[in-house]
Amino acid sequence: MSGASPNASGTSVAREAELRAGIVHTACEMERLGINQGTSGNVSTRCGEGFLITPSGVPAHALSADAIVWLPMDVEADASVFAQHRPSTEWRCHRDILRARSEIGAVVHTHSSAATAIAIHGRDIPAHHYMVAAAGGNSIRCAPYATFGSQALSDYALEALKDRTACLLAHHGVIAVGHDLARALWLANEVEVLAKQYLMASQLGPPPLLSDDEIAEVVKKFSNYGLRRGSGSDGS
């Protein structure tokens, strides 16, 4: 299995196999949920001394566990690993987020339609609904545009993700992060739901927004909930 050696990843073969299968499942779920399509988007998760990430140019239905690429956390563009493997072109975003945020275990990037429509206008998703607080604050910020796969895009995404677990990328898509793949996938889908709500509400005029104090109260409540199997994502 490519990159599966315990000496490479620093984790057990069984654990790495589980994480690889989890990435394949997540990518397929992104398509099933309608938040990604074709070869767009990418997924990563921590694995030992590095991270596993989807390969470049492979649609979800064609992914296999063996195709998932392991990269060391200190990887650079001139690393020898790139002569053997083709990780997602957005590997810099995944590397930088995982390096900067020790509490984050997984990163999901989508091109979901409604959220991307808002990102095309370079707009944040404001606090029109209390579930905006699921991303950690009173808005889901939109990072400035930069070419896909560039270091500039990664830098902009990191800034937009300060004190947040999701952001938009101008003219591009969405990044959602979480302590594991399930949480990151759930949040990526929630961002798309919120984007649809915001676009629909805007047809009646500028939506009224919740105050910072109201959102802060929801953020506080969410800290005791989290995503649980068999329960509502908002604790209901």
Domain limits, the chain: 6-222
Confidence at residue 78, expressed as pLDDT on a 0 to 100 scale: 87
Compute and round to an integer the Cα radius of gyration of the chain.
17
- Choice among 79-83, 168-172, 187-191 with the minimum mean pLDDT: 79-83
Q: List the one residue out of 181, 183, 32, 36 whose CA is nearest residue 110.
A: 36
Interacting residues of 174 by C-beta distance below 8 A, sequence separation 6+: 35, 109, 110, 111, 112, 115, 116, 119, 166, 167, 168, 188, 191, 192
Handedness of CA 159, 160, 164, 169 (dihedral sign): negative
The token duo for 151 is: 């270091």
Is 16 among the catalytic positions?
Answer: no
> Over the chain, what is the mean pLDDT?
92
Please report the pLDDT score of residue 8 as a whole number. 65
Does pLDDT of 84 surpass 90?
no
pLDDT at 225: 64
Residue whose pair of structure tokens reads 């199997």 in the numeric block? 229
Residue-level pLDDT at 236: 43
Higher pLDDT, 9 or 69: 69
Tokens representing 156 are 């902009």
- Taking the C-alpha atoms of residue 71 and residue 92, their distance in angstroms, rounded to an integer, is 11
Place of tokens 């990102």: 119
pLDDT at 5 over 50: no
φ/ψ (deg, to 5) at 69 = -100, 135
Q: What is the mean pLDDT of residues 58-80?
A: 93
Mean pLDDT score, 128-136: 98
pLDDT at 83: 84
Residue 2 pLDDT > 70: no
* CATH label, 6-222, candidates 3.30.750.24, 3.40.50.2000, 3.30.2310.20, 3.40.225.10: 3.40.225.10
Q: What percent of the chain has pLDDT over 70?
A: 92
More confident residue, 6 or 111: 111
Q: Which residue among 16, 90, 190, 192 is the active-site one?
A: 90
- Residue 55 is given by DSSP the state B
Residue 139, both tokens: 């808005």
Token reading at 129? 């609904």
Residue 162 has pLDDT above 80, yes or no: yes
Split at pLDDT 50, 70, 90, the class of 3 is very low
Task: Tell me what pLDDT residue 11 has.
Answer: 83
pLDDT at 43: 98
- List Cβ neighbours of 152 (8 Å cut-off, separation of 6 or more): 146
Give the DSSP letter of residue 67: G
Distances, alpha carbon 224 to alpha carbons 23, 73, 211, in Å: 27, 31, 21
